[in-house]
Amino acid sequence: MSNPSILILPGDGIGPEVMAQVTRIIDWYGNKRELAFDVSTDLVGGAAYDAHGVPLHDDTMARAMEVDAVLLGAVGGPKYDDLDFSVKPERGLLRLRKEMDLFSNLRPAQCFDALADFSSLKKDIVAGLDIMIVRELTSGVYFGEPRGIFNEGNERVGINTQRYTESEIERVARSAFDLAMARGKKLCSMEKANVMESGVLWREVVTRVHADYPEVELSHMYADNGAMQLVRAPKQFDVIVTDNLFGDILSDVAAMLTGSLGMLPSASLGAPMDNGRPRAMYEPVHGSAPDITGQSKANPIACILSFAMALRYSFDQGAEADRLEAAIETVLADGLRTADLLGDDGATPVSTSGMGDAILAALDASL
């Protein structure tokens, strides 16, 4: 039986630096846990544009469709700001999401006890926080037509269209309900049904799907109120499901509750492949951070936690995902910090690779 396959796309900026630590973790699982993966590497974003003139080569897209999971680092940087919109690095990421049909984006916001003081909110509000935002990823205002900048009379007008079909809403709703069943059986759906027809349809479809999940407590909330509630009392939520635009905004709000973007992973899941596994891509929430590229300051934890999500959702290795997450928690509890997490509490500063060393040591200690 062949090993599960992973395509690594380090991308731009700090992407290669943090992904190098993930590769070390993958190798550890092969050597210490007899959990081997067939790993290949390719280009995306600005790196792909430099090599091929496009942010994602067709051959890379084809490989992404064949593997069990894609791990992506980050894309973009000021070097590419003046490129035509059609070939900007971010278009490579959007193409992967769209052509792989990764409609369900899982964005956890978990506050490790050792980092509760780093949150912008009071410690008692965020300590123990563990919520999951499920963002619809392949439709809505980011993909709806018509879109563009057009001449209208004597001025230009920018148009983006918010568009959802019932089936698009239903499949992400089922993904969220399934996740809620595996967690606290509590789901909050967020939209703007008070002013948007797409929100009215969203609420109707989610309510209809709820009939198949009677054990889940379902609530509805307007997305603007949801943003306010996330910073007022975030622990009232367990799983949140929302559309593409609101999910983009709300998940970034939730991200800062945890103290650092360098701590947050994500998973983007699609329909099951022939082997029964969902088509999937995993990536840290943070960007390419060109201001610290090449300085060994980047925090690799979000990228490593993205691999933990791959263990859980693509490879049915929940216990090993728990092991990796516990190792990270141990390292943080021991006071080791990359630059983004340094405060005045006497923590020990470590480099990107130093954090990788510590996590590997904690993994060894878990055996």
Catalytic-residue membership of 248: yes
Active site residue 345: no
Distance CA 256, CA 263 (A): 10
CA distance 298 to 318: 27
Residue 210 CB: number of other CB atoms within 10 A? 16
Residue 264 in contact with residue 304, Cβ under 8 Å? Answer: no
Q: Which residues are CB-contacts of 243 (< 8 A; sequence separation ≥ 6)?
A: 135, 136, 140, 141, 162, 164, 191, 198, 202
Is position 252 annotated as part of the catalytic site? yes
> Residue 356 half-sphere exposure, CB side, CA atoms within 13 Å?
21
Classify residue 65 as exposed, middle or buried by CB count within 10 Å of its CB (0-12, 13-18, 19+): middle
Query: Catalytic residue at 344?
Result: no
- Catalytic entry in 27, 50, 101, 224: 224
* The two structure tokens encoding residue 110: 């978990």
Query: Catalytic: which of 178, 252, 334, 357?
Result: 252
Choice among 29, 49, 80, 142 that is catalytic: 142
Concatenated DSSP letters for 218-280?
EEEEEHHHHHHHHHH-GGG-SEEEE-HHHHHHHHHHHHHHTS-GGG-EEEEEEEE-TTSPEEE
Catalytic residue among 248, 282, 297, 313: 248
CA–CA distance, 253 with 49 (Å, rounded to integer) = 31
Catalytic residue flag (residue 50): no
Active-site residue list:
142, 192, 224, 248, 252
